[in-house]
């Protein structure tokens, strides 16, 4: 069963003469454990596709299914989008987006507590994951005191802590130097494979291309090949 199956996704912003077609008939399918890249120049629709797949900004038309379950039928969102994201998706941002008033371990544990897991169990699991990612010694400090690479690794930990079926990453290495970017990508790859999650990474960084199973190229809202 496909982890992600999207067909004919179209996203149109605005109306009438000011209408912009940001996504046109995009087809995406990703297997569990597979890691794919969405590449293309700025404005090609990569992030729009990511927002559509996560229902942060649903498409204008098309169908989306996650783990075989339809979540968008071309007209309506068929599921509570926030529940979908907190239970079955992990999302990584270019700007890390760690909550500044939570410590590192609390940032990671937050997703679990949002899913109803007890505070202490959430913290214990988050602490264990941070230990595995070699961030145990940074668990109790605020994100502002972490380096960019550390912040992104914490963001990766937050995205995978709930064992999601799908991990969506929006330019996760854009703010990092090459070495740190590679380390984050390697972490994403290994966590995706070991947790059997489908990983979709938006990137325009050609240096990172070799680690992906497949690459979707996008231009002007179209997926040109994969």
Partner 1 sequence: MNLAIRDVKYRLGRFVLTAIGVGLLLATVMAMGGIYRGMVEDALSIVRSPGADLWVVQKDTNGPFAETSRIPDDLYRVVRAVPGVREASPIAFQSIQLEYGSVSMRTQLIGYRPGNLGAPPAVAAGRPLAAGRYEMVLDRKSGIPLGARLPLGRMIFTVVGLTEGIVSSSGDSTAYVSLQDAQELQFLKANEAVRNERARLQADLRADPALAGVSSAALGSVIQNTNLANAILVRLEHWAEPAGVARSIERWNHYRAMTTAEQEDVLAKNVIERARQQILLFRIILLAVSTVIIALIIYTMTMEKSRDIATLKIIGATNSKIGGLILQESLALGLLGYGFGALLINLTYEKFPRRVAILAFDQTVLFAIVAFICVAASIVGIRRALAIDPTTAMAGGA
Interacting residues with partner 1 (CB under 8 A): 47, 50-51, 54, 56-57, 82-87, 91, 93-97, 99-102, 106, 109-111, 113-115, 119, 122, 142, 148, 151, 158, 170-171, 174-175
Q: What letter would DSSP give residue 77?
A: B
Q: Cβ closer to partner 1: 82 or 214?
A: 82
Nearer to partner 1, 32 or 143 (CB): 143
Backbone phi, then psi, for 70, in 5-degree steps?
-70, 130
CB of 30 to partner 1, least distance (A): 20
Q: Which is nearer to partner 1, 163 or 224 (CB)?
A: 163
Single out the residue of 29, 52, 45 nearest to residue 204, CA to CA: 45
Closest to partner 1 by CB, 101 or 209: 101
Are the C-beta atoms of residues 160 and 167 closer than 8 Å to each other? Answer: yes
Q: How far is the CB of 100 from partner 1 (least distance, A)?
A: 7
Of 57 and 213, nearer to partner 1 (C-beta) is: 57
169 alpha-carbon distance from chain centroid: 3
Would you say the C-alpha torsion 133, 134, 136, 142 has a positive or negative sign?
A: negative
Q: How far is the CB of 26 from partner 1 (least distance, A)?
A: 18
**Least distance to partner 1 from the beta carbon of 225, Å?**
25
Tallying the residues shown for the chain, one arrives at: 226
What distance in Å separates the CA atoms of residue 32 and residue 21, rounded to the nearest whole number? 30
Q: How far is the CB of 8 from partner 1 (least distance, A)?
A: 22
What tokens does 38 get?
């969405």
CB under 8 Å to 163, separation ≥6 — which residues?
Answer: 195, 197
């Amino acid at each position: 069963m496909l982890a992600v199956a999207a067909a004919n996704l179209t996203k149109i912003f605005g109306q009438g003469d000011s209408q912009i077609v940001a996504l046109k008939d995009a087809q995406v399918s990703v297997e569990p454990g597979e890691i794919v890249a969405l590449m293309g120049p700025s404005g090609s629709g990569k992030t729009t596709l990511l927002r559509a797949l996560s229902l942060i900004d649903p498409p204008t038309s098309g169908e989306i299914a996650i783990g075989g379950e339809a979540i968008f039928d071309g007209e309506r969102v068929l599921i509570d989008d926030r529940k979908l994201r907190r239970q079955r998706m992990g999302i990584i941002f270019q700007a890390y987006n760690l909550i500044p008033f939570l410590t590192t371990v609390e940032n990671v544990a937050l997703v679990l507590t949002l899913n109803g897991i007890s505070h202490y169990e959430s913290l214990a699991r988050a602490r264990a994951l941070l230990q595995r990612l070699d961030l145990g010694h940074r668990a109790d400090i605020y994100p502002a005191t972490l380096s960019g690479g550390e912040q992104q690794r914490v963001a990766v930990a937050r995205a995978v802590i709930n064992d999601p079926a799908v991990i969506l990453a929006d330019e996760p290495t854009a703010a990092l130097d090459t070495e740190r970017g590679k380390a984050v990508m390697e972490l994403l790859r290994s966590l995706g494979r070991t947790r059997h999650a489908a990983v979709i990474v938006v990137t325009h960084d050609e240096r990172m291309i070799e680690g992906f199973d497949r690459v979707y190229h996008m231009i002007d809202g179209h997926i040109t090949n994969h």
